[in-house]
Amino acid sequence: MNPPPRADLVQAVAKARDRAKELLKVLEGQGHPETARSSALYLALVSVQKQLTKEAPHAHVIAELKQLVSLCEGRLAAIRPEVEEALRIAGVGAS
């Protein structure tokens, strides 16, 4: 049986998810061209959070977080620190 996920990691991903949702609402309201990427980032963070509530962070979850850092460009760069913090808590860098 896997150990329970670290609460601080779950919380960091939730914070990134919340920021992504806020930005998505703003971009949707503006009809901004980055709305689709923002939506993809938000949905991916929701997925990661659900995975973390069910299991300890495995390599696939960490790999997904690393991929999400690469989505954090342009207007989405505001969310990058939260995603990088989740990686730091998971014990890896965003490289």
- Joined together, the tokens standing for residue 51 give 């995975």
In the prediction, which pLDDT does 62 show?
A: 86
Q: What is the pLDDT of residues 22-67, one digit of tens each?
A: 999 999 999 999 999 999 999 999 999 988 877 666 778 888 999 9
DSSP 6: P
pTM (2 decimals)?
0.80
For residues 2-20, give the mean pLDDT: 83
In the prediction, which pLDDT does 93 show?
A: 61
For residues 16-27, give the mean pLDDT: 96
In the prediction, which pLDDT does 94 show?
A: 56
